[in-house]
A and B are shown apart, each in its own frame.
Chain A
Amino acid sequence: MAHTSAPVRNGHPLHPGKNDVGLRNGFSKNGQHLHHTKGGLYKRPFTESFEQAPLYVAVLTYMGFGVVTLFGYFRDFLRAWGFEKCNLAQEREEQKDFVPLYQDFENFYTRNLYMRVRDNWNRPICSLPGPQFDLMERVSDDYNWTFRHTGKVIDGVINMGSYNYLGFAENDPTFLTSVEESNEKYGSGVCSTRQEMGNLDIHEELEKLVATFLGVESAMTFGMGFATNAMNIPALVGKGCLILSDELNHTSLVLGARLSGSTIRVFKHNNMQSLEKLLRDAVVHGQPRSHRPWKKILIIVEGIYSMEGSIVRLPEIIALKKKYKAYLYLDEAHSIGAVGPTGRGVVEFFELDPRDIDVLMGTFTKSFGSSGGYIAGKKELVDFLRLHSHSAVYATSMSPPVAEQILRSMKCIMGLDGTTIGIQRVRRLAENTRYFRQRLNEMGFIIYGHEESPVVPLLLFMPGKVGAFAREMLKRKIGVVVVGFPATPITEARARFCVSAAHTTPMLDKVLNALDELGDHLVLKYSRHTRSSRPELYDETSFEMDD
């Protein structure tokens, strides 16, 4: 369903007197979304869409799952009574009287649905995951229970699945000399924690650079992106604090929130009314039984949500945070380097002040071609984390070549290496994103997310189509990531494309043509909003020749 809200006519407390300019003559174009600027909070219109498919699609999806479930029970019956060979791990005869280790029903879905389409995941590659990569061909003789490699290599497969937003997953020797030198100089591993002997000068340099890149006072880096969330949220909040987390937050944020011991309340995805209601309830009622005020209220959101492609409504969240005096933790794993005119993330995308956000977190895995995470903010916050973070005390620090790769790519993006390659890549990514999304919308697919997010989920809905889509795309030498239930809601199985700055227009055209063909063949074009690149043709009030 398209996300719209009533435009604010009387202005907003932060920007009084600004009128909304979304509607033209009070009339909205058929099929277009209402553009609203929420009383001046947003400098540009915020257009996101999550269109729902027609009801018959949902009905057919459930029927598909029903058929698979019934067949699953039938096959389990055959396997149990010996009519069919059982390929699963089984207990030995002498162990049959013991209490079972696993419950076999918990594997029902894995055995009966996942196994049938398993060849679309975990495909082995034999080159680096750049815009194109080489796959090892593998076939299965027993319906995906075992695989064998034929020895052939499928080369030149277009990679639409890797998080390679700025194209830094490359093997260019001129770019990688500094990384190689740091490997020679420091070795490949540090083998110690930040607080003991693992604090190298390269880490200090990296942290200064990250702080300058983001426009904040100071930053701290960690060796693992998942661990950055899971280890630092417990250091920031504890018992007696409240965490308001978005419905679709990543597992690392959920794990960090659970480990901290605070109360967690979930608000509907990107829904500011839901968040405001929770904030009001929290401030008014306090802690559950004692009604004491909460020690801290921390709002945890992500910059770009990787499964939906939606961008967080940051201006509204900051307004709410200031009004109710809460803290904000922004996880920019997918948005740092990928959005914003110079690649500084969602803060720059919305033209906001990075000092408004209390904890800026991000990872280096997606746009910088490396690994690890960072937390940035005020100097007091980062100094506190240097002492109290579990990662600083117990986890090994970042490996030097990895840190050097981040330094190199960040300097490239900022232009500090003397070239304009970085800013060209950021612009190229924005162009590729807009082009890809616009063409997919014109073709009639249902795409989720914000119109400028480089993550493009294309809805497939039915379980059978998930497998068919991935296999057909591989036949056309395009590698895609498909996701189904239970990682997504049951009716929303999707294929997720990650547009990269390294994709050239011919590559994107090849992908788009393949999608066009497959969309007709598999019947995937369910969108009921007709979107054309020539809207003026639809706005004609009369079709006279001389108008």
Chain B
Amino acid sequence: QVTMNVGVAHSEVNPNTRIMNSRGIWLTYALGVGMLHIVLLSIPFFSVPVVWTLTNVIHNLGMYVFLHAVKGTPFETPDQGKARLLTHWEQLDYGVQFTSSRKFFTISPIIIYFLASFYTKYDPTHCFINTASLLSVLIPKLPQLHGVRIFGINKY
């Protein structure tokens, strides 16, 4: 019999809601993106524009999967699964919009996009890929799309 005791030491029902406000997590995220970039830069075949586009695309792909595709919590919560159908982004701060974590995670892909556009010298192909990737990660963050599942994809 395996049991995990979520929420026994504090009355926080869903720890996922405040994990992005914890001390040091923004710095860890920034360092993680930096590490990804350095690893990609060290591959000898890729030129600098390709590396920046790849960083942008991989970062946005990871962000999309972990924040907007995976639903529910990786542990059982004592609230009988209220958050089972919500993505992590929708769970942040119990659905309150425009908190500082939400602003930070909205601005960071934009900053990476600016840097990628600069380093790819605004080349049309790269620009198209980067813009599509940025939109895929910005549109789900809009407050109007909170809880919205287009064409029923990822609903249950």
Contacts and interface: CB of A to CB of B under 8 A. Distances in A.
Contacts of A118: 2
Contact of B24 (A62, A69, A247): A62
B23 A487 contact: no
Nearest to B1: A122
Contact of B11 (A245, A306, A486): A245
A109 B24 contact: no
Contact of B10 (A55, A110, A115, A247): A247
Contacts of A108: 74-75
Contact of A491 (B5, B22, B72, B74): B22
Contact of B74 (A106, A115, A266, A483): A106
Interface string A472-513: 000000000001011111110000000000000000000000
14 contacts: A58-B23, A63-B32, A66-B32, A105-B71, A105-B73, A107-B76, A108-B74, A114-B4, A249-B11, A251-B7, A254-B11, A486-B4, A487-B4, A491-B24
Contacts of A245: 11
Given A55-B23, A62-B24, 5 more contacts: A58-B22, A66-B32, A103-B72, A105-B73, A254-B11
B69 to A, nearest CB: 11
B104 to A, nearest CB: 15
A486 B6 contact: yes
Nearest to A114: B4
B8 to A, nearest CB: 5
Interface of B: 2, 4-12, 15, 19, 22-25, 27-28, 31-32, 70-76, 78, 81, 84
Nearest to B31: A59
A328 interface: no
A250 B73 contact: no
Given A58-B24, A103-B84, A109-B75, A485 B7 contact: no
A248 interface: yes
B27 A307 contact: no
Contacts of A487: 4-9
Contacts of B4: 109-110, 114, 486-487
Interface residues of A, number: 37
Contacts of B71: 105
Given A55-B24, A62-B28, A115-B2, A490 B19 contact: yes
Interface string A238-257: 00000001011111001000
B16 to A, nearest CB: 9
Interface string A80-110: 0000000000000000000000010111111
Contacts of A247: 10-12
Interface in A2-50: none
Nearest to A269: B10
A192 interface: no
A63 B27 CA distance: 11
Contacts of A483: 9
Contacts of B8: 250-251, 487
A461 to B, nearest CB: 11
B140 to A, nearest CB: 19
A266 B11 contact: yes
Contacts of A491: 22-24
B27 A55 contact: yes
A263 interface: no
A52 interface: yes
Nearest to A246: B11
B78 to A, nearest CB: 8
A488 B8 CA distance: 8
A121 to B, nearest CB: 9
A55 B22 CA distance: 11
Contacts of B27: 55, 59
Given A105-B74, A249-B11, A251-B7, A110 B25 contact: no
Nearest to B15: A486
A106 B81 CA distance: 9
A489 B24 contact: no
A63 B28 contact: yes
A188 B28 CA distance: 57
Contacts of B12: 247
Contacts of A306: 9
A104 to B, nearest CB: 10
A66 B32 CA distance: 10
B65 to A, nearest CB: 10
Contacts of A115: 2
A307 B32 CA distance: 31
A489 B73 contact: no
B22 A105 contact: no
